[in-house]
Amino acid sequence: MNSVPRERFSHPMAASAPSEQAVVIGGGIVGTCCALYLQRNGFQVTLIDPAAPGDSTAKWSCGQISVGEIIPLSKPGLLMKVPGWLMDQTGPLALRPSALPGIIPWLLRFMSCARHSKIESIARSMASLTKDVFADYAPLLDACGDKALLIQRPVMQVFDGPEGVERERGHMDLRASLGFSSQVLDAAEIGDLEPALGGRFSHGILLPQWRFVSDTEGFIAALTESFEEQGGRRLRTTAVSIDEDAGRATGVTLANGERVGATQVVLAAGAGATRFFSQLGIHAPLEGVAGYQALLPEPGVEFRHSVIYADGGFCFTPMRRGLQIGGTIEFSGRNAKPNFRRAEIILEKARRVLPQLNADRHEFGVGYRPFLPDTKPIIDRSRRLPNVLMAIGHGQLGLTLGATTGRLIADLATGRTPKQDLEAFSAYRF
């Protein structure tokens, strides 16, 4: 990753007047990166989020920078799997029966994306974003004091048998055609790369362009600290409304009644963005899908890489806080309470793979991934309030696409033509 001098960060591109004010609603990874890129472009930025820095959806993720994760979740034959999701609440993807009535319209849209032609179209659009991920993160990470936030090792997948690799062949070919390579691994290669798994798996795939972060919470917290060091302001509160006058946003009103003025407002509030949709004039089918994780501070097993156990539906990622194990997702419906039995199931499955795991101390967590049915994010401006920009719906790729989204939002805010064609990420595509 090329180093970018701190002076370039502190004296941003002269694209907007220093007096311009921006407000970013949402302090997770996407919102923080939007704030940083707006700051680099001369805006004075206020970032609003009720949680502590780093305590966001991405904290409870696998921590991967998944540049090749461009294949949508929807797959051919998906409709036949829905009864199984309802019956088996222990699988890697589950659907709570109570959520079914409200989520049927979303699921029908989701299933319509399972056609091969649709999958290829979505993959091409997503690849246009993920190809710039590391270049977009470079200046943000270079401005952080901690130079080991990103672990420079690839990610692995392991399977119970050869059929797992064969199932992935078509997706491997599609990824390869879009510039993302992979390598099939045998038992010896798996053991060499990850001794903890030696003798346990004979079939795997190496994803050489993927990376992972040293700590999902610490990664976002470090970027937030850098933002504040550069003069940004982060308010730990909730934005309750977007203020407007004469067809433009003028700022936001906070939970305590205080108003923060702005010439640009960015909505990056994840699954919580839906409360602003009516005002912005959009009807995007955004759902918060629960993803569960278990964190073991003293796991008793050393991992070198982030490893996806594909047939188990979860991932091992070594972090400074401990070994994080998770990835299972659940369609639970809006405002549903977390079902931490899902996290217990992950831990039980992990101990079957690695009986020596020490789970005496553990922490469970859940993050609500903001999913749209086609698994593409929204990166767009409101037609009703054109100085409100939207950076939402990143699903499981918030950590991956945070910096790229931030750069694109800054382009829109300053009137530059974005490098990527954003038509595929329109808020009005639904």
Question: Is 403 in contact with 358 (CB distance < 8 Å)?
Answer: no
Asked whether residue 191 is assigned to any structural domain, the reply reads yes
- One domain for residues 12 and 53: yes
Is the Cα torsion angle 213, 219, 220, 224 positive or negative in sign? negative
Residue 138 belongs to some domain of the structure: no
Residues 156, 201, single domain; the answer is yes
Range of the domain at 165: 68-130+147-209+286-371
Q: Is the pLDDT of residue 55 over 90?
A: yes
- Both 257 and 314 in one domain: the answer is no
Residue at 346 is within a domain? yes
Q: What is the pLDDT of residue 3?
A: 34
Identify whether residues 278 and 235 lie together within a single domain: yes
Rounded mean pLDDT of 180-201? 97
Q: Verify that 297 and 398 share a domain, yes or no.
A: no
Asked whether residue 306 falls in the same domain as residue 365, the answer is: yes
pLDDT of 189 over the 80 cut: yes
Asked if 161 and 304 sit in the same domain, the reply is yes
Q: Does 131 have pLDDT greater than 90?
A: yes
Q: What is the number of structural domains in the chain?
A: 2
Q: Is residue 52 part of a domain?
A: yes
- Residue 135 falls inside a structural domain: no
In sequence order, which residues have a C-beta less than 8 Å from that of residue 152 and are 6 or more positions away? 211
CATH code where residue 103 lies: 3.30.9.10
Please answer whether residues 242 and 428 qualify as being in contact, where contact means their C-beta atoms are separated by less than 8 angstroms: no
In the prediction, which pLDDT does 85 show?
62
pLDDT (mean) for 361-390: 96
Last residue of a domain, one of 345, 371, 397: 371
Tell me, yes or no, whether 43 and 73 share the same domain: no
**Sorting pLDDT into bands at 50, 70 and 90, what band is 18?**
low
How do 155-159 and 306-309 pair as beta strands?
parallel
Q: Which of 72-86, 105-119, 397-411 has the lowest mean pLDDT?
A: 72-86
Q: How far apart are CA 29 and CA 224, in angstroms?
A: 9
102 and 184 share one domain: yes
Cβ neighbourhood burial of 80 (10 Å; 0-12, 13-18, 19+): exposed
| Strand order, beta sheet including 150-151 | 64-65, 211-213, 150-151
Q: Is the residue at 142 inside a domain?
A: no
pLDDT at 307: 98
pTM here?
Answer: 0.92
Whole-angstrom Cα distance, residue 78 to residue 282?
28
CB 331 within 8 A of CB 395: no
pLDDT of amino acid 10:
36
**What's the rounded Cα separation, in Å, for the pair 220 and 122?**
28
Position 306 in a domain: yes
Assess if residue 385 is contained within a domain: yes
Q: Do 201 and 299 belong to one domain?
A: yes
Mean pLDDT of the chain: 91
Please state, in angstroms and rounded to a whole number, the distance separating the CA atoms of residues 159 and 345.
19
Tens of pLDDT, residue by residue over 225-270, are 999 999 999 999 999 999 999 999 999 999 999 999 999 999 999 9
Q: How many angstroms separate the Cα of 38 from the Cα of each of 34, 153, 405, 412, 414?
A: 6, 30, 11, 10, 9
Which residue among 354, 371, 388 closes a domain?
Answer: 371
Residues 170 and 178: their CA atoms lie apart, in Å, by 13
Residue 332: the pLDDT is 85
Q: Is the pLDDT of residue 77 over 90?
A: no
- Backbone dihedral angles phi then psi of residue 279, each to the nearest 5 degrees: -65, -35
User: pLDDT, tens digit, for every residue of 333-348?
Assistant: 888 899 998 899 999 9
Tens of pLDDT along 86-109? 667 677 778 888 888 888 899 889
Residue where a domain terminates, one of 371, 389, 405: 371
For the domain that residue 390 is a member of, what is the CATH number?
Answer: 3.50.50.60
- Which band of pLDDT confidence, cut at 50, 70 and 90, is reported for residue 420? very high
Residue pair 386/248 in contact (Cβ under 8 Å)? The answer is yes
Q: Which alpha helices (DSSP H) does 281-426 contain, by range? A: 341-353, 398-414
Tell me, yes or no, whether 171 and 319 share the same domain: yes
Helix axes of 398-414 and 133-142: crossing angle, nearest 10 degrees: 80
Q: Are residues 415 and 332 in the same domain?
A: no
Distance CA 103, CA 95 (A): 10
